[in-house]
Amino acid sequence: MEVDLLAGFGVGFLGSRLKRLAERMQADAAEVARSVDVPVQPAQMAYLMTIRLHGPMAVGELAERLQLAQPTVTRALGTLGEFVEARPMPGDGRSKRLALTEKGEALLARVQTELLPRIEAAAAELVAGLSGDFMQGLAKVETRLTEKSLLARVQDAGPPTMWARDFSDDLAEAFYRINADWISDMFSLEQNDIDLLSRPRELILDKGGVVLFAETPDLGVVGTAALMVSKDGWVELTKMGVTPEARGRKVGEYLLAKTLERAASLGMDKVYLLTNRKCAAAIHLYEKLGFVHDAEIMRLFGARYERCDVAMVFSPPR
């Protein structure tokens, strides 16, 4: 058996080992992009998504949001001239902000519907079931990648049947409609509902939160959920709904799992939700995925909605 010298050097070479793993996975991801004819490198996707989600923005702000050196960002933008442009700010012709071109918007829509779902599914399979010592887990990931590349995993899985998308302005209407429909069917829209549904960018995204959507090939956008930064480090899982025509496809379970996955990746370890006992099916799903009833959450946040009589906090299994 060939000896992995870099692995043998131990944890002191963790950075080098992670760089090797990243290069292998990015090379595979680039092959996946080519296989679906998406003309973008995996490392470039974060730039495009950040500009669409939080732009228009200056180069320095983009670097700050991605926690990268500005020269690194500037070099990367030089390869994206077809998809990103610098636009003068209204009233200040000297100040310019980065924004996506029409080709950039179209490209990012394809990235989120044709590319990312495939890569995410393959990456999830790659790390499934890992636990315990981090270095041992890292060795297992490297072994699995040697046995079967990310591209091979994508090809074996076939086209995705459902995927998650981040918020964009063209989805604002869907965010409002999906939630307003189910809330109005069971309760009455409260002012807090109307504010959040009408101003998700201002009240959720710009404050560090997340809005996700579930989408399918045949029905389009079929569900949505949000993570809203609250106070004292708490984050509220809110505005989660599924369209009637998609019920029975486990959209809610998929969307909740993706939302909690995003919370974990952002270091959001204090997640709660507010609901009503009439939402029995939803409460059962919350319990299934790790939420527990909590009187203190009710005391702290329950007054935000008149209909709230159930408060829960996420307590992942150890």
CATH number at residue 119: 1.10.10.10
User: Which of 157, 181, 208 finishes a domain?
Assistant: 157
Q: Give the confidence band of 1 by pLDDT, cuts at 50, 70, 90.
A: very low
Q: What is the mean pLDDT of the chain?
A: 91
Same domain, yes or no: 207 and 77: no
Same domain, yes or no: 220 and 292: yes
Same domain, yes or no: 137 and 41: yes
pLDDT digits (tens, 9 = 90+) for 284-311: 999 999 999 999 999 999 999 999 999 9
User: Which of 157, 188, 211 finishes a domain?
Assistant: 157
Q: What is the count of structural domains for the chain? A: 2
Residues of the domain holding 216: 163-314
Same domain, yes or no: 114 and 192: no
pTM (whole model) above 0.75: yes
User: Which of 105, 135, 157 finishes a domain?
Assistant: 157
CATH number at residue 196: 3.40.630.30
pLDDT digits (tens, 9 = 90+) for 194-233: 999 999 999 999 898 999 999 999 999 999 999 999 988 9
**Residue that is written with structure tokens 């939160």 in the block:** 209
Distance in angstroms (rounded) separating the CA atoms of residues 190 and 167:
23
What are the contacts of 295-298 at 24+ separation with CB within 8 A?
297/272
**Residue that is written with structure tokens 């680039």 in the block:** 30
Q: Give the confidence band of 54 by pLDDT, cuts at 50, 70, 90.
A: confident
Q: Give the confidence band of 283 by pLDDT, cuts at 50, 70, 90.
A: very high
Whats the size of the chain, residue-wise? 318
pLDDT recorded at residue 192 = 95
